A = this chain, B = another copy of it.
Amino acid sequence: MPVTQDQRSEIDALRGTAQPTRRATVASLEEILYEPITVLDHGFIRVIDYMGDDSAIVQAARVSYGKGTKKLLEDAGLIRYLMRHWHSTPFEMAEIKYHVKLPIFVARQWIRHRTANVNEYSARYSKVQDEFYIPAPGQLGIQSSANRQGRGAVLDEAQAAKVIDLLREDAVRNYRNYAWMLNEDDAGAPLDADRSGLARELARMNLTLNTYTEWYWKTDLYNLMHFLRLRADAHAQYEIRVYAEAMLDTLKRWVPHTYAAFMDYRMGSAQISATGLGLIRRMLAGERVTQEASGLSKREWRELMEVLGLPSA
């Protein structure tokens, strides 16, 4: 279970109170506010706060004095137009804040998105919890030969079991030694009253990269979509993709018109190069084009054929 009894009570206390506000408010997002959505074995995302809705985008795009919306259809059309033509500033006018619990090696990928605000749990200041990500056997892919940074078929059962044992044993032993160095038991009491504990800022270096950490992460809608486009993509590493997928659901609840435009113009779209466009034009004109005569490398040809739903050979 990703949250303790105490944390559950704190969450329920927040969810149990409501105040009136004049601000733009989204009922379907309020419904899940503060609620942890489980990701991986011990992780979660929680929506903590948000600013704006689909209308706020329209309102800013029109620099309005009031709500800024016209007919619903027109608003949806404007959002589609803004998305299609890469207008970024109106989408920056909405903001969202998450609380995320995630393995450190995932956090290291995530933090590369710089246009966001982050407040991470400090292992200099507090002891880390003994929670580690241990992949499910079905996730233990072998090194892909086609893609230097991906994974392929799943390991056989025996080897998968061995890997899982190693990951668990190493994480647990390293954590136990971390606690020993700190000289601190689970309740925060000294393990041994006669010795001093090593500084937390040092002991933490013994932890493994699958140890869970937590942070508050806040970003605007434009940069959230940029994050999701890269991290919910099929080529993203599974362990970050599941977070992005959970966040896509919150996007849909929050700004449904923007979500629809995003799925059409970003997630499901393709960027076709000048050379690729030239080939499509020739194919539409009835010409038979081969990779050899295309000017594309084999790899690029394969990528283009995939996008066009054609066999690459």
A contacts, CB < 8 Å to B: 3, 6-7, 9-11, 13-15, 17-25, 30, 33-34, 48-52, 56, 59-61, 63-67, 77, 84, 86, 89-90, 92-93, 95, 97, 99, 103-105, 108, 111-112, 114-115, 117-122, 124-125, 133, 135, 139-144, 148-153, 155, 159, 163, 166-167, 170-171, 173-174, 177, 180-182, 195-202, 204-210, 214-216, 218, 220, 230, 237, 263-265, 267-277, 280-281, 283-284, 297, 300, 303, 307-310
Inter-chain contact A273/B283, CB cutoff 8 Å: no
Inter-chain contact A144/B199, CB cutoff 8 Å: yes
Inter-chain contact B18/A198, CB cutoff 8 Å: no
B-chain residues with CB within 8 Å of residue A119 when the two chains form the complex: 60-61, 63, 89-90, 92-93
B-chain residues with CB within 8 Å of residue A177 when the two chains form the complex: 166, 170
Known: A10-B65, A140-B202, A207-B209. 5 other contacts (CB 8 A): A9-B66, A63-B119, A166-B181, A206-B209, A268-B274
Inter-chain contact B206/A10, CB cutoff 8 Å: no
Inter-chain contact A198/B143, CB cutoff 8 Å: yes
Inter-chain contact A202/B141, CB cutoff 8 Å: yes
| Bound: A174/B220 CA distance, A | 39
Inter-chain contact B24/A49, CB cutoff 8 Å: yes
A84's contact among B20, B103, B199, B273, by CB below 8 Å, is which?
A: B273
| Bound: A177/B162 CA distance, A | 10
Give the distance to chain B from A120, nearest Cβ to Cβ, in Å.
7
- Identify which of A14, A150, A214 gathers the most chain B CB atoms within 10 Å of its CB: A14
Give the distance to chain B from A116, nearest Cβ to Cβ, in Å.
9
Question: In chain B, what residue has the closest Cβ to A19?
Answer: B25
B-chain residues with CB within 8 Å of residue A200 when the two chains form the complex: 143, 149
B-chain residues with CB within 8 Å of residue A207 when the two chains form the complex: 208-209
Inter-chain contact A117/B143, CB cutoff 8 Å: no
Inter-chain contact A216/B274, CB cutoff 8 Å: no
Question: In chain B, what residue has the closest Cβ to A158?
Answer: B195
A199's contact among B152, B201, B283, B309, by CB below 8 Å, is which?
A: B152
From known contacts A23-B49, A173-B170, A268-B274, infer whether A155 and B198 are also in contact, taking CB-CB under 8 Å.
Answer: yes
| Bound: A269/B273 CA distance, A | 4
| Bound: A215/B59 CA distance, A | 11
B-chain residues with CB within 8 Å of residue A201 when the two chains form the complex: 149-151, 237
B-chain residues with CB within 8 Å of residue A265 when the two chains form the complex: 271, 273-274
Inter-chain contact A99/B63, CB cutoff 8 Å: yes
Inter-chain contact A77/B198, CB cutoff 8 Å: no
